[in-house]
Amino acid sequence: MEYRDEVYFEAQPDREQPFSDEEFANRLNRIRQAMAEAGIDCLFLSSPESMYYVAGYVCMWYHTESPMEWSATNGIAVHVDHDRFIHFETEREAVLTRTFSCSKDTRYFPKTSYRDGIGYIADELKAEGWLKGNLGLEMHAMRPNRAVSDRFQAAFERAGAKVIDGSAILREVRWVKSLAEMECLKESARIATVGLKRAAEVLRPGVTELEVQGEVTCAMAREGGEMQAQLMPVLSGKKSLATHAMATRRKMQAGETVAIDVCGVFKRYHINAARTFSLGEPAADVKDVTDRASAVMDVVRDCLRPNLPIRELNEKVKAHYDKEDLWTSRGWIGGYEMGISFPSDWVGNFVYDPLSEKNADRVFEPGTAVNHEIQVFMPRHVGQFFMIESLLFEEDKASFATPDVSYALNVVE
For the stretch 56-74, pLDDT in tens is 999 999 998 888 888 899 9
179-412: what fold? Creatine Amidinohydrolase (3.90.230)
What is the pLDDT at residue 27? 98
The residues of the chain that CATH labels 3.90.230.10 are 179-412
Report how far apart, in Å, the C-alpha atoms of 130 and of each of 106, 134, 165 are.
16, 9, 17
Mean pLDDT throughout 203-216?
98
Mean pLDDT throughout 221-242?
97
- Residue 290 scores a pLDDT above 80: yes
The pair phi, psi for residue 369, each rounded to 5°, is: -145, 135
Look at strands 398-400 and 410-412 and give their pairing.
unpaired
- Residue 246 scores a pLDDT above 80: yes
Instruction: Name the band, by pLDDT with cuts 50, 70 and 90, for residue 163.
Output: very high
Strand partners, 86: 77
3-state secondary structure at position 10: helix
Mean pLDDT throughout 396-412?
98
Q: What is the sign of the dihedral through the CA atoms of 169, 175, 176 and 180? A: positive
Q: How large is the angle between the packed helices 146-158 and 118-128, nearest 10 degrees?
A: 30
> Percent of the chain, pLDDT > 70?
100
- Residue 31 scores a pLDDT above 90: yes
The residues of the chain that CATH labels 3.40.350.10 are 3-173
Mean pLDDT throughout 30-39?
98
DSSP code per residue over 53-94: HHH----S---TTS-TTS----EEEEETT-S-EEEEE-GGGH
Mean pLDDT throughout 192-202?
98
pTM score: 0.96
Closest alpha carbon to 400 in 370, 364, 363: 370
Tens digit of pLDDT for each residue in 310-366? 999 999 999 999 999 999 999 999 999 999 999 999 999 999 999 999 999 999 999
Tens digit of pLDDT for each residue in 107-145? 999 988 778 999 999 999 999 999 999 999 999 999 989
What is the pLDDT at residue 1? 60
Q: How large is the angle between the packed helices 284-294 and 296-303, nearest 10 degrees?
A: 10
Mean pLDDT throughout 388-412?
98
Q: Out of 10-14, 21-25, 52-56, 111-115, pick the least confident.
A: 111-115
Mean pLDDT throughout 235-263?
97
Instruction: Name the band, by pLDDT with cuts 50, 70 and 90, for residue 259.
Output: very high
Supply the mean pLDDT for the chain: 96
CATH number of 3-173: 3.40.350.10
What is the pLDDT at residue 157? 98
Q: What is the sign of the dihedral through the CA atoms of 2, 63, 57 and 269? A: positive
What is the pLDDT at residue 9? 87
